[in-house]
């Protein structure tokens, strides 16, 4: 009996199998973090399982004759495979799509579970369509002013619970910000500026400078990803330093200085020391701990 080889089923099965292996590989190696947030990991494993089932179903059809084959539809899998498998580098703060922000609390309406924006105002880099969608999704919350310890004030959306991140030394009035708590400390300092005014703070990030900053100003930033690579935006405090103009863009540094909060500029650090540093193990930060 003559045997038939269904090339179309064989190619489709091979593409699905390769796609499945790639999904499992990216999830296991964490390389998917270049494109999406950690919350997407379960979906990658699910996709890998589905593609594996499809691959098996197509391989079962390899011996079934088909006299008119069309492998063009395999391009639907081949093209994204080629794109993802190509070498990818990390984005830099200066090349990120979203606009820079020194006060992430103003962008919390764009984060999962975040509060509503003030008077529906957009943040830098937001399109009109995104504004409308944000206004449709956002929950109506009021900003309440609470009296904190020692009579200090804080402005925290009533649907957000803020816990003090690690690194605080109240006795010596110092804050050491770890890479993992970079975003959490930005929120903490934005919501409780009076409480930490005058504290010495140390932060690790990349140098960011643009035309909106003064000659003696730069920002120490990390790239914030709330959903995927398409919404990356640099965030971090403005640093005041006389030699700011000579700093190289996107250079990793460790900055030490005195924290103050400016109503117009947001978080401000009066630099007392700056050192070259190695890049963080995880270059992106996320609005929530995963």
Name the 3-class secondary structure at 273.
strand
Q: Strands, E, within the chain: which ranges?
A: 143-147, 153-157, 168-169, 174-176, 200-208, 217-224, 233-235, 238-240, 252-262, 266-276, 284-285
Low-confidence stretches of the chain (pLDDT beneath 50): 1, 109-153, 158-159, 290
Domains, the chain, with CATH or none: 7-85 (no CATH), 104-114+160-285 (2.40.50.140)
In the prediction, which pLDDT does 211 show? Answer: 83
Neighbours of 97 (CB within 10 A): 11
Share of the chain above pLDDT 90, in %: 32
Instruction: Quote the pLDDT of residue 47.
Output: 93
pLDDT at 163: 80
pLDDT in tens, 171-213: 999 999 999 899 999 989 988 999 999 999 999 999 998 888 8
pLDDT digits (tens, 9 = 90+) for 127-173: 433 433 443 444 333 333 344 444 444 555 544 556 888 999 999 99
Q: What pLDDT does 121 receive?
A: 34
Question: What pLDDT does 219 receive?
Answer: 92
The structure's pTM equals: 0.66
Q: What is the DSSP string of 141-196?
A: --EEEEE-GGG-EEEEETT----PPTTEETTTTEEE--GGGHHHHHHHHHH-HHHH
Torsion of Cα atoms, 249 then 253 then 259 then 260, to 10°: 0
């Amino acid at each position: 009996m003559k045997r038939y080889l269904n090339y179309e089923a064989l190619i489709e099965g091979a593409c699905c199998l390769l796609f499945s292996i790639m999904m499992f590989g990216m999830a296991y190696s964490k390389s998917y973090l270049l494109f999406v947030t950690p919350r997407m990991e379960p979906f990658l494993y699910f996709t890998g399982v589905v593609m594996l089932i499809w691959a098996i179903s197509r391989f079962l059809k390899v011996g079934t004759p088909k006299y008119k084959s069309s492998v063009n539809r395999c391009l639907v899998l081949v093209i994204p495979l080629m794109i993802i498998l190509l070498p990818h580098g990390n984005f830099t703060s200066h090349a990120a799509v979203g606009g820079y922000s020194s006060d992430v609390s103003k962008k919390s309406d764009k984060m999962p579970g975040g509060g509503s924006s003030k008077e529906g105002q957009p943040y830098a880099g937001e399109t009109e369509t995104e504004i409308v969608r944000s206004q449709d999704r956002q929950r109506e919350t009021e900003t309440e002013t609470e009296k904190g310890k020692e009579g200090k004030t804080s402005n925290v959306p009533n649907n957000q619970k803020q816990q003090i991140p690690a690194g605080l030394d109240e006795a010596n009035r110092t804050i050491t910000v770890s890479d993992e708590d970079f975003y959490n400390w930005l929120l903490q300092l934005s919501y409780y500026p009076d409480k930490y005014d005058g504290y010495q703070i140390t932060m690790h990030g990349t140098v960011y400078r643009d035309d909106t900053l003064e000659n003696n100003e730069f920002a120490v930033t990390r790239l914030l990803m709330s959903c995927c690579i398409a919404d990356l935006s640099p965030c971090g405090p403005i640093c005041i330093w006389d030699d700011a103009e000579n700093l190289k863009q996107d250079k990793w540094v460790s900055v030490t200085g005195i924290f103050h909060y400016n109503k117009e500029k947001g978080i401000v650090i009066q630099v007392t020391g700056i050192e070259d540093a190695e890049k963080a193990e995880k270059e992106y930060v996320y609005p929530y701990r995963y």
